Amino acid sequence: MDLISPAARDALQNWLTHERALNGVSEATITAYGGDVTSFLGFMTQHRGAPQGLGALSDISIRDMRSWMAFERGRGVGARSLARMLSAVKSFYKWLAKREGFEPTAVLSARAPKFQKKLPRPLTEDAATAMIETLGTQAREDWTAARDIAVATVLYGCGLRISEALGLKGRDVPLPDILRITGKGGKERIVPVLPAARRAVDAYVRVCPFPVEPDSPLFRGVRGGALSPRIIQSAMASARAQLGLPATATPHAMRHSFATHLLNAGGDLRAIQELLGHASLSTTQAYTAVDTARLMEVYDMAHPKA
């Protein structure tokens, strides 16, 4: 039995096209959405004994939703992943209900399982500096050492995602005072470039054995292709083991550290939100970790009744 009816499959593809074109959703998210909703539709076919056309989909009950969620938990899907799946299903149903004219209350009222959010763990300023320095001592060749230092310095000094740092092109050097970065969802933001990041990239370019051409990747692998994120992740894993840092000391932690250290130094949370390219201030708040003593110090200095 085909697990998804042609009408449901067409509706899913149309929704994904809508999300991609009008909401600027990334391809990775589109793929995740497609898998999550396909899994849901397949379950409903087996649960209800027939491929679910659009009419049947509009008639899904709260009990059906509970059965689906119990099935997913039963096959080992964690609370965080199930919450993500439910979010995708709800988004699909909001779109489908508006298009087909039915009431999606049963689906939208399904409650996501509770889970404890993992807060990011930024490095201390000393640990971030040590991480960058250690990356330079463990590489086999001088140019790869300079490359790894440059990548880590850009992550920490500019608050870039690793995909954004590795997306830089030859045309971007020498790094300007301001970088225009296209982040998630095609959103552009302006990021100031610290002199340290500029110097690190210049040092790498001077020793890179491959020509730095306008349309070529700035950061190269040993064979000349675009540098893989896994290489930087592996290099940082070795460095953190050498330094005795926790497993949370990853490339993404350098971005967390950028945000936290700016906030610790008195940076404005909304300005940091812009620098990171977050759509929501709550996301920026989750990225930053300010110790209580520093928070109270700022409070005492800034509060009008202090």
Interval 49-99: pLDDT, tens:
766 677 778 888 899 999 999 999 898 888 888 888 999 999 999 999 888
State the average pLDDT over residues 292-298: 52
pLDDT at 1: 40
Q: What is the C-alpha separation between 251 and 165, in angstroms, rounded?
A: 11
CB 175 within 8 A of CB 193: yes
Query: Does the pLDDT at position 102 exceed 50?
Result: yes
CB 193 within 8 A of CB 176: yes
pLDDT at 188: 77
CB 200 within 8 A of CB 149: yes
Map out the domains of the chain as residue ranges.
Answer: 6-108, 125-300
pLDDT at 306: 44
CATH of segment(s) 125-300: 1.10.443.10
Find how far residue 151's CA is from the centre of its chain: 17
pTM value is: 0.57
Q: What is the C-alpha separation between 185 and 96, in angstroms, rounded?
A: 22
Q: What is the C-alpha separation between 37 and 104, in angstroms, rounded?
A: 15
Counting every residue, how long is the chain?
A: 306
For 87-117, give one letter per residue: b (16+ CB within 10 A) or e.
ebbbbbbebbbeeeeeebebbeebeeeeeee
CB 95 within 8 A of CB 82: no
pLDDT digits (tens, 9 = 90+) for 35-52: 999 999 888 888 887 666
Q: Where are the alpha helices (DSSP H) in 26-74?
A: 27-48, 54-57, 62-74
DSSP code, position 288: -
pLDDT at 275: 58
Least confident of 127-141, 153-167, 188-202, 266-280: 266-280
Q: What is the C-alpha separation between 131 and 236, in angstroms, rounded?
A: 7
Host H or E run for residue 192: strand 188-192
Which segment, 84-88, 257-261, 278-282, is predicted with the most confidence on average? Answer: 84-88
pLDDT at 171: 93
pLDDT digits (tens, 9 = 90+) for 121-177: 777 778 888 999 999 888 889 999 999 999 999 988 888 888 889 999 999 999 888
Q: Which residues are catalytic, by number?
A: 161, 184, 252, 255, 278, 287
Percent of the chain with pLDDT over 90: 29
State the average pLDDT over residues 254-262: 73
pLDDT at 195: 87
Higher pLDDT, 125 or 13: 13
3-state DSSP call for residue 110?
A: coil
CB 15 within 8 A of CB 38: no
What kind of architecture, by CATH, is found in domain 6-108? Orthogonal Bundle (1.10)
Q: What is the C-alpha separation between 235 and 243, in angstroms, rounded?
A: 12
Host H or E run for residue 231: helix 229-243
In the numeric block, which tokens belong to residue 306? 């202090």
